[in-house]
A and B are shown apart, each in its own frame.
Chain A
Amino acid sequence: MVGIVDYGVGNLFSLGSSFRAIGREAAVSSDPEVLAKADRLVLPGVGAFRDAAQKLRASGLDKFVKEQTAAGKPMLGICLGMQLLFEESHEYGVHRGLGLLPGRVVAMDGRLPGELKIPHMGWNRLQVSRGRLLKDADGQYVYFVHSFFAEGCEEALSAVTDYGIPITAAVEKDNLFGCQFHPEKSGAAGLSILRTFCEL
């Protein structure tokens, strides 16, 4: 079973449906007892970093997530859920993340060349350099919606996408995985990535 960590941020409907579509049972829950029974976890998230980080701490699920991943359980952070894995974010101030991966989250604003629009929204292509999660996904188009991105995370970087500059698209280190894009909104390519995650 896949445990989708519900800490009050975002709409988890599609995520649950996408696991069911590939024949996997998924439980959306904020209860550590329920989530502890899952053989892998998904940390979702949309919205503002500070708000999400606060909610994660207030629910106590930050400690739970750290314990579970330290014990070796595979975990996939998606979008803001990926950004939370890092040490800190510079989204309207400096805010502490889970610190599970080295790196920080910074604004696209001021870093992109030319007239590129922010947020980076739409389908963009994965350039996969390493890792298990995206082993079959090089060159695939996936769906992004974000205005901030992770940098200084070379150690865990597994894929980038080109948006005037290389943008961190995915990271992985041991049993920790993160996608800046939304696999649950990326059509067949996205479902295939979720299937791989379930087999790790």
Chain B
Amino acid sequence: MITKRIIPCLDVRNGRVVKGTNFQGLQDVSSPVELGRYYSENGADELVFYDITASAEGRKLFTDILTEVAATIFIPLTVGGGINTLEDFDRVLKCGADKVSVNSGAIRNPDLVREAARLYGDQCVVLSADVKRVAGQFRVFAKGGREDTGMEALAWIRRCVDNGAGEVVLNSIDTDGVKGGFDLEMLEAVSNAVDVPVIASGGAGCEGDFVKLFQTLPKVDAGLAASIFHFGQVQIPHLKGTLKENGILVRI
């Protein structure tokens, strides 16, 4: 049977991993190539690279780096950040990405998901949604969580899945950065609303949060996190050992 996936996410600005990490044995803690290799050799089931560059030069640097990363890691690679057009899909897929994650680009142009899915297949299109509670409702936020779109999240996510999004990354703004655990209530609502894989993001602070996620919500397929992996608070091989001890199927 299919395993639960553990996915580290790396933010890249101007070709460097933002904040870096503190792993021993890594010469350059801000090198996307070194970090990508480190994670792929240390239990990550998939990697997400997120381009947070604003400039055109930075974007060019990102695609160069991406090509190098893709040539050195042999696990699935998802790329996001600044994906607004089919040309953006094409650009990162040619660099060796397996899946492309869209967020604000899909909000600006809701046809993007449908067109990309038709061209590259559903499995290639990942909807990333930043969601926050507003007035008792789950609301979709744009622009890195800064702008309330006014759209109800479940309807938005369902619409994108109907249009061909093959996977959903649900990032709860309410729990993001708090390290008090994933947003189980929001995740339950989303995983009941769609029948494609749902990836939990936002809020993991310790191994127990992943155990609780998969035990409480067996429908959730994967857990994604950034800083707790980068700063070694949670080591993926150890996390997977803990998950296995708790009866959760993982690739070890």
B-contacting residues of A (Cβ < 8 Å)?
11, 13-14, 17-18, 20-21, 46-47, 115, 117, 119-125, 141, 143-145, 162-164, 184-188, 190-191
Contact = CB atoms under 8 A, between A and B. Distances in A.
A117 B219 CA distance: 10
A21 B74 contact: yes
A121 B2 CA distance: 8
Given A13-B96, A17-B74, A119-B166, 17 more contacts: A14-B98, A20-B71, A21-B71, A117-B221, A121-B123, A121-B197, A122-B2, A122-B221, A124-B1, A141-B251, A144-B2, A163-B1, A163-B2, A164-B1, A185-B74, A187-B74, A190-B74
Nearest to B75: A187
A191 B74 contact: yes
Contact of A17 (B2, B3, B71): B71
A10 to B, nearest CB: 9
Interface of B: 1-3, 5, 40-41, 45, 70-72, 74-76, 93-96, 98, 121-123, 166-167, 195-197, 219, 221, 251
B197 A162 contact: no
A11 B96 contact: yes
B74 A46 contact: no
Given A13-B70, A17-B96, A185 B166 contact: no
Contacts of A187: 40, 74-75
A124 B72 contact: no
Contacts of A145: 123
Contacts of B41: 188
Contacts of A14: 70, 74, 96, 98
A17 B251 contact: no
B30 to A, nearest CB: 23
B229 to A, nearest CB: 17
Contact of A18 (B74, B76, B195): B74
11 contacts: A14-B74, A17-B71, A17-B74, A17-B96, A21-B74, A115-B195, A121-B2, A121-B167, A125-B1, A145-B123, A186-B74
B3 A124 contact: yes
A47 B121 contact: yes
A185 to B, nearest CB: 5
Centre residue among A115, A144, A145, A162 by max chain B CB count within 10 A = A145
B123 A119 contact: yes
A145 B195 CA distance: 15
B197 A117 contact: yes
A145 B1 CA distance: 13
Contact of A123 (B5, B74, B123): B5
Contacts of B71: 13, 17, 20-21
